[in-house]
Chains A and B, each alone.
Chain A
C-alpha cells in the first residue's frame, strides 16, 4: 500500500480519536457542571427587583407603602375635586357680585333718569303756564283775589 496513504489513514485515526476524546471530555464536564448546584447570575435590574419585592414583603413597610399608595390614589383625586368645587363656588360668587353690581347701577341710573324727567316736567309746565297766562282784567280782579287767597290755591293764575 502507498506509504502516503497509510500515513493519511494514521492521521485520520488520530484526528478521530482526538475528536472522540474531545467530545467525551465536554460531555463529562457538562454532566459535572450540570449536576452542580449554582446560583443564577442576576443582572442589576433583576437584583433590584428581587430587593424591591423582599422589601415589599416586610409587613410594616408593606403596610406603610400600601397606606401611602391609598392616600395618593384617593387623596389626590379628592383634593383635585375639592379644589375644582371651591373654584366653581368662587367663580359663582364673583358672577353674582357682578350681577348685583350691574343691577344696582341700573337701578341708580333709572332713579336718576326718573328724577331728571320730573324736574323737566315741572319746568315745562311752568313754561306753559307762563306762556298761556294773561293779565287779569280789572273787572275780574276781585274774583282773582279770591282765587289766590282761597284754599287749595296753586301758584297758577
Chain B
C-alpha cells in the first residue's frame, strides 16, 4: 500500500519543511493535498501574519495560497520542499497584496494591521522573571520597529531566516533569488537590527 505524505516525511526523520516530497507520490490526490494543507497552514499563516501584521489579511491570504496551491498541485514536481513551494506562492500573494494596498492609497481601506510596538506584547510568559520579561518585550519591540522599516524583500528574507528558520538555499528558492542576493539582503537587514539593538556592526 502506498504510504501517505506524512508517513513518507516521518519515515525520513526530518522536519517536514526541509524535505522535498518525492515526485512519484505527488499524484493529484485530494486526500494528499488535504493533508499537506492541514500540515502547513499554520506555518503559512504565521509567515503572512509576521509579514503583514494583519491577522485577517493573513488568514485571507493563507486561504488564497492554499487554493492556488490546490489548483497547481498536479504541476508540483517536488523540485523543492512543499513548504518552500507554498511559501513561494504566499510571498507572491503578499507582494500582490502590498501592490494593491499601494494602488488603493487614496481609499480609506480598513486595515487591522497591528502596530509594531503592540506586536511585541505577544511574548510567551515562560519561566522568566518579570524583569526579564520586560527586557525581552523591549527587545522584541526594537526588532519589530526595525523590521517595519526594512524593504519588502529584506523583510521577507529576514522573516524566513529568523522566524521560519529556513536555510539560505531554501530562502533563495522561495523568493526566487540567488543565494548571494539572499545573503546580501539578510546582511543589510541584520546591520539595521544590530544598530537598533545598540550594536555598532
Contact = CB atoms under 8 A, between A and B. Distances in A.
Interface stretch (B14-22, B23-31, B149-157, B192-200): B192-200
B142 to A, nearest CB: 7
A32 B122 contact: yes
Contact of B199 (A15, A19, A41): A15
Interface residues of B, number: 36
A38 B199 contact: no
Interface in A29-56: 29-34, 36, 38, 40-41
B56 A41 contact: yes
A21 interface: yes
Range class of the A interface residue count: 20 to 34
23 contacts: A11-B194, A11-B199, A11-B200, A17-B139, A19-B143, A21-B136, A21-B137, A22-B139, A22-B140, A22-B143, A24-B123, A24-B126, A25-B122, A27-B163, A28-B124, A29-B122, A30-B46, A30-B49, A33-B49, A33-B59, A36-B55, A38-B55, A41-B56
Given A17-B136, A30-B42, A31-B42, 13 more contacts: A18-B197, A21-B123, A21-B140, A23-B162, A23-B165, A24-B126, A25-B119, A27-B46, A28-B122, A29-B49, A40-B60, A41-B56, A41-B57
A81 B200 CA distance: 87
B120 interface: yes
Nearest to A41: B60
Contacts of A30: 42, 45-46, 49-50
A145 to B, nearest CB: 126
A103 interface: no
B183 to A, nearest CB: 17
A14 B144 CA distance: 15
B58 interface: yes
B201 interface: yes
Contact of A18 (B119, B124, B139): B139
A25 B58 contact: no
Interface of A: 8, 11, 14-15, 17-19, 21-34, 36, 38, 40-41
Contacts of A21: 123, 136-137, 139-140, 143
Interface in B96-127: 119-120, 122-124, 126
A26 B46 contact: yes
A148 B148 CA distance: 143
A131 B166 CA distance: 135
A25 B118 CA distance: 11
B173 interface: no
Contacts of B190: 15
Contacts of B80: none
A25 B201 contact: no
A24 B201 contact: no
B5 interface: no
A30 B59 CA distance: 11
Given A17-B139, A19-B143, A33-B55, A25 B199 contact: no
Contact of B123 (A8, A14, A15, A28): A28
Nearest to A22: B143
Contacts of A28: 122-124
A25 B121 CA distance: 8
